[in-house]
Structure 1
Amino acid sequence: MGKMISEIKEQPAALERLLKGERRNIAGIADRIRKLDPAFLSLAARGSSDNAATFGKYLIECENGLTCSLAAPSVHTVYKKKIDMRRGVVIGVSQSGEGDDINETLRLARASGAYTVGITNTPGSAMAAVADDVILLRAGVEKGLAATKTYTCQLMAMMMLSASLAGDRALLAALDGVPDAVNETLAVESRVREITERYRYMERCVIIGRGFNYATVKEAALKLMETSYVVAQPFSTADFMHGPIAMTGAGFPAFVCAPSGRMAAPIRKLCGELRDKQLETVIASSNPATLKLASKAIRMPVDCGELVSPILYIVPFQFFANFLSVARGLDPDNPRFLKKVTKTL
């Protein structure tokens, strides 16, 4: 069994370790943030971690009512600009904890008066040294180059922090059921494997979602670009209708992330429009009416609600990226030109 496929299946256990091992630490960090009464929060990340940060932005603003931005590290590292970070919280997200630009962003934010937190899978990393406090993902060593279990653990860490910050005991209790839900979701493997061969020669596609799952489609696109070299473009459903839909047509592959929740109705409407335009749609959903609109349907076995859905809905796309890479005669564990730890400024 390859590294990527193995680590996809390790996700329930990794999430369980995070829940058990970091609950008290995250509660303490949330308490310090509450006492600070921050004016804003900023998330700094690259790659898959940046996709997790996109989810974090939606989460913090929707659930905690705090203005939350995605940091532009080059403002600090290239343009050398100083920003007043007093009464701010800056969270760096990195599986390795060794990204120079993210760590420099944390260092300068701390020097400018911000409270800083690192979210990383690597104890003893540079990030752990530079941040005021650290949340360890506890995912175990990720040997595959494409992030899988560290990504879902990043999502979980942000949910734990948000729920603790809000004092939302119901959500904190609900998170305990997520590892089992992910374990059930692994059952989509056979269906994803079944449909993959059809897309063996696919050179480009769009992946569409919205809201909390905008992060999901960004991460799904990244996985396809990394492992299968497909030109995969992620869009929110709203942005897609504002121009990019014009580049599609009959037979154009469109992958759609369609969980339950507030975005379900507008996404279902879009799926109907894509069918009418004869696009080739692959839809992941638990809703029978939405699945009927698909060229190829992936029925999600669990509906945990919109907030938790990004952890579940990335799973079929992780499987698809792995199987498509193999079908194309590639190695998903060794993509060309890439390294596990990427350092940029």
Structure 2
Amino acid sequence: MISTSNSKLWKEIFEQPEMMRRCLSVNTPIFKEIAAEVKARGIKTVVFAARGSSDHAAQLARYLFETHCGMIASIATPAVITCYNGNVDYSNALVIGVSQSGGAQDVYEVMKRCDEQGGICVSVTNERDTLMTTAGKYYINNECGKETSITAAKSYMTQLLILNALAAHISGKAELISQLDKLPDIVAEALKLEDQVRAIIPVYRNIEHMLLFGRGLLYGLAQEAELKIQETSYLDARSYASSDYRHGPIATSLRFVPAIFFIADKQTNECIIGLHERLKEEKHIYSTIVTNDPEIAKLGDSSVLIPSQYDGLEAVYACAVFAQMFACLCALSRDYDPDNPVGVSKHTVTR
């Protein structure tokens, strides 16, 4: 039995539902205010500036803003500003800077440029009175308290929630807005996955390489799972969109490299199932399927079954809990400390 009693990361995973509820309670008036200005100015472009886990939250947000808000969404390449002094026009854009620490110098420079040009600039951080909070008309705090584990859990989850909420309020769609209050409960329900996650850890305990696959809404989640596994377990974990993997990387597939497939979005399931079938047939890989469909679960050598009613966007939150638990338990099983990854800092600064 892997003991989690001394893990700060494990403790903070279980704090997430409460933190999400507080985040919504405090920030909903700000979400509405930002949405009102975006609509009043007719802004149709949103740019996210972020690194690491924050960037993965933004990957999900791109889909939400383009699908539901009719906005062109992109993720900034800060070096365009900080290294090349690019002449990017943010005067009629919504720029959202996202960082747990708020100390990301390069993200700040993108936000500052937006401010100077008269665009709408929003800062999202978990720490107050930081560099990023000095830029932008609007400031949103994650409201999840201090993270004591270097490996981020609750700050990532609340970033997902904040970007999700902004898209919902800008879209004006009642079903998306009402869904927000359900998301903390979905995360609370997903905490019950613990026994299923523990059951699959032995296969991954002694490996050195693994793959993760998602698509659409679940692709950013696969990227986040990759990062969490890399920094806690020192595994060569690599994530791919199932649509991209066929275009070259599939040639590197090996039988002894196991893979986790996130298959819980009716809009994209067919693509991932097709890739899974091909890799089983041609490479005979070992697979773990994380899904909301018992029939799909049977396709894998092992599986983790999330509640069937959570599909698409709701599945992202449940699968995020899986990814966090998996990374923490895998690290502990390998005798590593998931709270203090070697070479990783809570306040990583890039320029």
Distance 1:319 1:264 in 2: 23
Unaligned runs of 5+ in 2: none
State the shift of 1:116 in Å.
Answer: 0.4
State the shift of 1:302 in Å.
Answer: 5.1
Matched, 1:130 2:135: yes
Deviation per residue, 1:191-217 (Å, 9 max, x gap): 111211221111111110000111100
Distance 1:96 1:174 in 2: 28
State the partner residue of 2:316: 310
What is the 5 A alignment of 1:4-43?
A: 4-43=9-48
Matched, 1:77 2:77: no
Distance 2:279 2:13 in 1: 30
Distance 1:39 1:193 in 2: 45
Partner SS state of residue 308, structure 1: helix
The aligned amino acid for 2:18 is A
Q: Which shows bigger deviation, 51-60 or 214-223? A: 51-60
Distance 2:41 2:236 in 1: 44
Q: Which shows bigger deviation, 139-148 or 248-257? A: 248-257
Contact 2:8 2:148 in 1 (8 A): yes
The aligned amino acid for 1:169 is A
Matched, 1:344 2:350: yes
What is the 5 A alignment of 1:216-295?
A: 216-277=221-282, 278-295=284-301
Distance 2:213 2:127 in 1: 32
Contact 1:271 1:290 in 2 (8 A): no
Contact 2:233 2:336 in 1 (8 A): yes
Q: Which shows bigger deviation, 84-93 or 211-220? A: 84-93
Partner SS state of residue 349, structure 2: coil
The aligned amino acid for 1:173 is S
Distance 2:324 2:130 in 1: 27
The aligned amino acid for 1:157 is I
TM-score normalised by structure 2 residue count: 0.95
Alignment counterpart, residue 332 of structure 1, candidates 316, 338, 347: 338
Contact 1:260 1:303 in 2 (8 A): no
Contact 1:224 1:232 in 2 (8 A): yes
State the shift of 1:81 in Å.
Answer: 2.1
Report the count of equivalent residues.
345
State the partner residue of 2:303: 297
State the shift of 1:309 in Å.
Answer: 2.1
Distance 2:166 2:44 in 1: 17
Distance 1:208 1:303 in 2: 21
Deviation per residue, 1:99-133 (Å, 9 max, x gap): 11111110112112321011111222221221110
Distance 2:50 2:238 in 1: 20
Aligned alpha-carbon RMSD (Å)? 1.3
State the shift of 1:18 in Å.
Answer: 1.1
State the shift of 1:307 in Å.
Answer: 2.1
Partner SS state of residue 301, structure 1: coil
- Sequence identity, in percent? 33
The aligned amino acid for 2:49 is A
The aligned amino acid for 2:289 is I
Unaligned runs of 5+ in 1: none
State the partner residue of 1:320: 326
State the partner residue of 1:154: 159
Contact 1:207 1:221 in 2 (8 A): yes
